[in-house]
Amino acid sequence: MQQKTSEKVVVRIPPSPTGFFHIGRARMALFNYLFAKKHGGEIVFRLEDTDKERSKKEFEEDIIESLKWLGISYDQGPFRQSERGEIYKKYIQKMLDNGTAYVSHETEGENKEVIRFKNPNKTVTFSDEIRGEISFDTTELKDFVVARNIDDPLYHLTVVIDDHESGITHVIRGEDHISNTPRQILLQEAIGANRPVYAHLPMILAPDRSKMSARHGAVSVREYRAMGYLPHAFNNYLALLGWNPGTEQEIFTMEELIEQFDLKKIQKGGAIFDQKKLDWVNKEHIKLLPEAEQKKLLLKSIENEPYMTGEPELDVEKICWRYINQGETIRHLEKVKELLKEEWTIYKREIMAYSEQEGRGNVLWPVRYALTGAEASPDPFIMLEFLGKEKSLKRIEKAIMALKNAK
């Protein structure tokens, strides 16, 4: 039975703690979040840890941390399937009693007994918000196993029971779960649960269109976090993996994403993960921040550069703009040194004026290089600010000396 959308929306974020929280699961979480917020709904967070071998506390913590970093909040949970044995037991007993499941005496394999679902062998048809109508003949699933025993339910059953108990109205998840859906629908019918609305998200692909994996670069949220991406820029980029509002807009605040998000605008085909695009989205978000925030981020991004901790090694050749005019360069550096000494509080204006007159590259390149010894670094004014007067003067003096000695 399809639920009416006038009902309160309840979605779920149900990652399995079997690995670090990866971009696929993060996008799933985000889409659920956006959809719930847009419809004034609720979000249930549960950890699907029925696989005792592969589920780890470390991964659980990583998931919780990553959701927090992304700013994806939830209204209920975290629930752990490993703590809900009593609930599952009640349902299994009910299924055994009403004949939708039975204890099967196995002739093959290690388990002598398992609990199997009594498959009605019918065609299940469901309507996916993204992929349209999907029909599946469930006969081929046979009487599939739903629990090892009454205390040990398997994954499909726990998902269905949890969704039912939480009153889930919409299941938004990766396309890799599409083949699980007919099985789960049969189980819903067996326990008398409503059928949620389904939306299966397209796969995230690497640039070569193969399935995204660690061999293509970073796949976990923690890695992107360590690389210094802004959490909201990361969300913005994730949102574009398979969705767009049908306009030219690509940079969104969280409020705009919520406002414009629409399951009907999600594409069917795979979404290519493009780190260059992510970099661009991140830059655009940095530009939107107040100047002080931008500086803080910039400082953080260069805090491990050698020139932030000690005096830079200078390559005399490189001090001069385009490697020429040593004499001129000495003159410019001397001038900047004087300006800094005298006019530290307004150096930017003074140095800018001087470099307009002498040629920007001629003046600003040697200053920046003297300060950092690096060909790529933030602009000289930012570096002057970060290093402070004393260090800056010392470094400029050192560059002057190096040039003089080389002459």
Which residues contact ligand GLU by CB under 6 A?
14-16, 25, 48, 159, 173, 177
Q: In this chain, which residue has its C-beta nearest to ligand GLU?
A: 173
Rounded Cα gap, residues 37 and 43, in angstroms: 9
Select 14 or 366, whichever has its Cβ closest to ligand GLU: 14
> Nearest 5°: phi and psi at 103?
-80, 125
Q: Closest distance between ligand GLU and the C-beta of residue 181, in Å?
A: 9
Rounded Cα gap, residues 52 and 43, in angstroms: 25
Select 176 or 342, whichever has its Cβ closest to ligand GLU: 176
**Do the beta carbons of residue 278 and residue 234 sit within 8 Å?**
yes
Cα 57-20-58 angle, rounded to 5 deg: 20
Select 271 or 314, whichever has its Cβ closest to ligand GLU: 271
Q: Closest distance between ligand GLU and the C-beta of residue 46, in Å?
A: 9
Please name the residues in contact with 239: beta carbons below 8 A apart, sequence gap of 6 or more.
27, 30, 31, 34, 252, 257, 261
Q: Is 387 helix (H, G, I), strand (E, B) or coil?
A: helix
Q: Closest distance between ligand GLU and the C-beta of residue 25, in Å?
A: 6
Residue ranges with strand state E in 81-222: 101-105, 113-117, 123-128, 132-137, 145-149, 152-153, 170-174, 197-201, 204-205
Select 16 or 138, whichever has its Cβ closest to ligand GLU: 16
Rounded Cα gap, residues 2 and 196, in angstroms: 7
Q: Closest distance between ligand GLU and the C-beta of residue 172, in Å?
A: 8
**Residue 163 to residues 18, 38, 188, 387: CA-CA distances in angstroms?**
20, 20, 9, 56
Tell me which residue of 147, 180, 176 sits closest to 163, measured CA to CA. Answer: 180
Select 14 or 373, whichever has its Cβ closest to ligand GLU: 14
Please name the residues in contact with 90: beta carbons below 8 A apart, sequence gap of 6 or more.
none
Q: Closest distance between ligand GLU and the C-beta of residue 15, in Å?
A: 4
Select 219 or 367, whichever has its Cβ closest to ligand GLU: 219
Select 31 or 243, whichever has its Cβ closest to ligand GLU: 31
Q: Closest distance between ligand GLU and the C-beta of residue 33, in Å?
A: 14
Rounded Cα gap, residues 319 and 118, in angstroms: 80
Select 45 or 252, whichever has its Cβ closest to ligand GLU: 45
Task: Report the amino acid identity of residue 148.
Answer: R
Select 70 or 159, whichever has its Cβ closest to ligand GLU: 159
Q: Closest distance between ligand GLU and the C-beta of residue 47, in Å?
A: 9
DSSP string covering 181-230, please? Answer: HHHHHHHHHHHTPPBPEEEEEPPEE-TTSSBP-GGGS--BHHHHHHTT--
Q: Closest distance between ligand GLU and the C-beta of residue 270, in Å?
A: 17
Task: Report the amino acid identity of residue 222.
Answer: R
* Residue the block writes with tokens 């010392």: 394
Q: Which two tokens stand for residue 71?
A: 């700013």
Q: Closest distance between ligand GLU and the C-beta of residue 110, in Å?
A: 25
Q: Is 402 helix (H, G, I), strand (E, B) or coil?
A: helix
Q: Closest distance between ligand GLU and the C-beta of residue 246, in Å?
A: 26
Select 188 or 362, whichever has its Cβ closest to ligand GLU: 188
